[in-house]
Homo-oligomer: A and B are copies of this chain.
Amino acid sequence: MAENPGMPVRPSGRLLRAPEHFLSPAQIAEVTAGRRGFLRGAFAAALAGTGGVAAAQGTGDANILELPAHTKGLGQPVATHGYGQPSQYERNLQRRESPGLTRVSAASVSFAPLQGMFGIITPNGLHFERHHQGWWDIDPSKHRLMINGLVKNPLVFTMDDLMRLPSVSRMHFIECGANTGMEWGNVAVPTVQYTHGMLSCCEFTGVALSTLLDMAGYDKKAGKYILVEGADGSSMTRTVAMERALDDCMVAYAMNGEMLRPENGYPLRMVAPGIQGVSWVKWLRRIEVGDMPYGTKDETLHYVDLMPDGLHRQYTSIQECKSVITSPSGGQTLLDKGFHNITGLAWSGRGKIRRVDVSTDGGRNWRTAKLESPILSKCLTRFNFGWVWDGGPAILQSRAIDDTGYVQPKINQLRAVRGTRSIYHNNAIQSWRVAEGGEVSNVQVY
């Protein structure tokens, strides 16, 4: 995706360029004194003194009345955009395809730009994508959901039917089972967008799957599994255990306050908290109750773990406890010593995050990071950690612990069990190397 070179934009990601210095105490005194006489002029002078707005507007001289246009004029009206858009200065921050990762872009991935994101909510415009046969904008008035199989009353729902049923809203992360897959080998993908960007987190609204299964009268004895099926050409089908389906799965029509986006399954998708993304079937059209796992293409040939002995592990769908530092991260540069906020995300498919530790020396010493609220089950948790960089080399790592007591493993611990030829379910500790010049890069630390 080409960027327009004629337009100044923020770099993709957090600004870690050398900060301009604060005003000197003398400058501040001058500004404060001046303000008493003539507030607006003095403020302009202060800004000019820092190479700020007034000077930047191209006046060139020290005319203290030369305030920026936005301080003098009438701005844009409300509802200029009935549906708002990001600042023109933020348009570098996009989800991006990794060129060559798959043969066609309709069956590919676009990664979320975690390096420039904040908190835990993924804005819908930056939610990662993984399509198996491209995305469609399906007419919701024509879409149907069928519940059949081992049920007393098979049902077909319209969207209107679904949207008048009892509704639930909950926040959950979704992570592709292949996220961080390149790191199984020794391929150090350059940025966190490409190492961990198949990860998003939204507030989903829909109908509890248990409500629909109850309405259909599922077979409580024989009905041990469900098959979840999408309406797109890939005929995506996945097995989910009935126990999990009844626990916290939902059929969702909305994310982050509005209807799903087409790329995320509009008008209906499966939400399977804690389970890998492929089971969150998009453009959801059918749920069948069965008495055994279905063993479909996407759970026998794909999304299976190639083990060192040459066999495959199947049905390993729960996303284990994991974390990553999103800033500073690969491709960014620290241009100044001193205090930096290290920030990142932690999550577990089994529950809540209990603690995140951060190391700045490659795992020799660890200190506990601050967790932001809310801390929710099967949801991203944002952590922050204060660090004073002395200008020397450093290796930044984060390590998450969930409320089952599970500790996120090192890559060599994971490889000892799982080998190096897998694609899926890599939840190892990620290491970012800070070079003496401040450049941050992906490095594997054993």
Contact = CB atoms under 8 A, between A and B. Distances in A.
Given A104-B77, A119-B257, A131-B78, A168 B372 contact: yes
A109 B78 contact: yes
A260 to B, nearest CB: 8
Interface in A134-193: 134-144, 146, 148, 153-161, 163-171
B231 A70 contact: yes
Contacts of A80: 135, 263
A285 interface: yes
Interface stretch (A297-305, A339-347, A356-364, A397-405): A339-347
B134 A77 contact: yes
Given A35-B148, A146-B43, A86 B156 contact: no
Interface stretch (A22-30, A273-281, A309-317, A425-433): A22-30
A253 to B, nearest CB: 8
A23 B143 contact: no
A151 to B, nearest CB: 9
A74 interface: yes
A110 interface: yes
A66 to B, nearest CB: 13
Contacts of A106: 74-78
B84 A163 contact: no
Given A148-B31, A384-B167, A95 B79 contact: yes
A84 B232 contact: no
Q: How many monomers of this protein are in the complex?
A: 2
Interface stretch (A10-18, A238-246, A411-419, A435-443): A10-18
A119 B156 contact: no
A49 to B, nearest CB: 8
Given A75-B131, A78-B109, A105-B77, A23 B339 contact: no
A308 to B, nearest CB: 32
A56 interface: yes
A75 B136 contact: yes
Contact of A19 (B87, B160, B343, B386): B160
Contacts of A72: 233
A88 B258 CA distance: 13
Contacts of A159: 15
Given A77-B104, A104-B77, A233-B74, A163 B89 contact: no
B97 A257 contact: no
26 contacts: A10-B140, A14-B163, A53-B143, A56-B141, A70-B136, A70-B233, A74-B104, A77-B106, A78-B105, A78-B109, A79-B96, A80-B263, A83-B93, A83-B95, A85-B125, A86-B124, A86-B261, A87-B140, A87-B267, A118-B169, A118-B259, A119-B256, A119-B257, A121-B121, A123-B257, A169-B382
Given A46-B146, A119-B257, 14 more contacts: A15-B163, A18-B160, A20-B158, A20-B161, A22-B157, A25-B153, A47-B156, A70-B136, A75-B131, A75-B232, A79-B110, A82-B96, A119-B204, A164-B341
